[in-house]
Amino acid sequence: MYSFCPYCVFRVPTAIRVLGAAMQTPWAVILTKFNDNNNEPFPRLRYEEIFTPAGAGKWNMVDYFRDMSHGKLDLSGSQVFGWYTLDKATADYTGSGLHQAGRQDLLQWAKDKATAEGVNLGDFHNVVVVLNSGRDLFGGLNGVVCGDDGANSALSGLSPSLLGQEMGHGYGLNHSRREGSTVDYTDPFDVMSTDAGRSAPHPVYTDLDLFGQPVYEIGPGLNAANMGSKGWLDMTRVWTDPRTARISTTVQLRPLHSRHLPGYLAARFGEYFIEFRMNTGWDALVPPCVLVHRFEGGSSYLVPDEDGNEVFRAGSAISTPENLSVLGSGFSIRVNAIDTANEVATVSLARAPAQIPRIFPQEGPYQTPWIKWLEAASLGEAVVILDGKAVSISPNSPAYGILENVAMIGNSHPLMSERLQTSIREEAMANIARLSQTEVSMPLFRNPATSLHRKRGGGFENGSS
């Protein structure tokens, strides 16, 4: 059995991109013993069932990566080799999460031994070193180490739930996270967080440990953001954002890993990956829900809804926060319905540009900034909109002169020669510098010609003091 290691990946940002049809990624599975433990916990067929087509349909790793890649990864060429006995004793192993060098040593010992026994590792995408104990469990681009002593005393390192993560590291995937956190293992609905995950009892290997807990577990599936990061989403089955300034549409989603059902399996909207998950198959313990993710810096992030729930149910939504919306601009993602009987989730996606009226309102009810614009215009003032709030600036104010020069720069672009634009910019900048210098060198006792006072309620008052 194994003890869970929180540092089981060597973080490498390399992405293996898959374009087109299925990519052959066979794994060499090396059954490995230290020379002081001759135990062979299972017959060879059991290992072949876990890693090769011999176990097709038995929730094995060939099935898993085919399903998690929308059919783009083909592990059917994987082979089991060994048992091989290292010329090392158990005590020679120094690896752990804190001792990565020892882990790399073990991978190298096993690879060297297999090569010496005639295995051409160059024929394989990567290796899984299977120990006859749960001495360690980790994975990276350089290989995976796992194992099981066959004693059924705890969750097995040969569980597809754990191997899905470790072999996922072998394809360059990192642990998944929750939005707002850089802590790994915090997306319960993704195999790259198996630690916090929603793994289900293995449907075929149903052994229980002393506490009645499953020894073998499967799932959950891989989230759409992680799939997308590797090019594993079938883009012919993904609703894709047309990237127009304004959009308002409804998309029906099938469960992300249910390729046998017709329709969209995910949606890409702005930076978001939107997926529907059902409590079936690898996701048997995932509640029916919509999940929203984004991908940044090599990691996927689970985005909660606007009430902080990590799963989206019917009525859940996320939209541009009010303080970031300029004149109604922004996006929204809303779950209209989740139909578990028919395995369909209906999601509304909307995005709107800022709503700038061409004709300013002449009568109430007025909304800032337009009421301010009307007031200010009648007084010959300037109105600046900052953070969605209108600020009026008196023509007597030094800021007004600065603003005139800012406007001059803003108006200098179209149809002018580069030289003319440059000279306008230089003149405006010189004017701004001169006005600023004049203002700061004024005697301290001088009352400002004008000042802005923020009134209760968010409006502005403009006057001399």
Kindly identify the residues of this chain, within the stretch 45-84, that bind Zn ion according to CB under 5 A.
none
Stretch in the footprint of Zn ion (CB under 5 A) among 68-76, 153-161, 162-170, 238-246: 162-170
Tokens of 188: 């319960």
Binding string, 8-37, against Zn ion, x = CB under 5 A? Answer: xx----------------------------
What three-state secondary structure class fits 224? helix
Helices (H) and strands (E) in the chain, counts: 8, 23
Cβ-contact 265, 215 below 8 angstroms: no
* 390 in contact with Zn ion (CB under 5 A): no
User: Is the CB of 98 or the CB of 386 nearer to Zn ion?
Assistant: 98
Q: How far is the CB of 146 from Zn ion (least distance, A)?
A: 11
Q: How far is the CB of 195 from Zn ion (least distance, A)?
A: 8
User: Is the CB of 127 or the CB of 267 nearer to Zn ion?
Assistant: 127
User: Is the CB of 162 or the CB of 253 nearer to Zn ion?
Assistant: 162
User: Is the CB of 169 or the CB of 254 nearer to Zn ion?
Assistant: 169
User: Is the CB of 91 or the CB of 101 nearer to Zn ion?
Assistant: 101
Cβ-contact 7, 60 below 8 angstroms: no
Stretch in the footprint of Zn ion (CB under 5 A) among 22-30, 91-99, 164-172, 417-425: 164-172
Q: How far is the CB of 126 from Zn ion (least distance, A)?
A: 15
Please give the C-alpha separations between residue 279 and each of 2, 128, 291, 343, 432, in angstroms, as whole numbers. Answer: 28, 29, 13, 10, 64
Q: State the Cα angle at 69 between 290 and 249, rounded to 5°.
A: 40
Phi, psi (degrees; rounded to nearest 5) at 349: -125, 130
Stretch in the footprint of Zn ion (CB under 5 A) among 28-36, 159-167, 202-210, 232-240: 159-167
Tokens of 20: 């087109």
Query: What is the size of the binding site for Zn ion (CB under 5 A)?
Result: 3
Output the CA torsion sign for 151, 152, 153, 159: positive
Q: How far is the CB of 8 from Zn ion (least distance, A)?
A: 4
Q: How far is the CB of 191 from Zn ion (least distance, A)?
A: 10
Residues 6+ apart with CB under 8 A from 132: 31, 32, 33, 37, 39, 40, 41, 83, 147, 149
Q: How far is the CB of 62 from Zn ion (least distance, A)?
A: 21
Q: How far is the CB of 165 from Zn ion (least distance, A)?
A: 5
DSSP 305-328: -TTS-SSB-TT-EEE--GGG-STT
User: Is the CB of 88 or the CB of 169 nearer to Zn ion?
Assistant: 169
User: Is the CB of 10 or the CB of 366 nearer to Zn ion?
Assistant: 10
Strand partners, 139: 9, 144
Residues that bind Zn ion (CB under 5 A): 8-9, 165
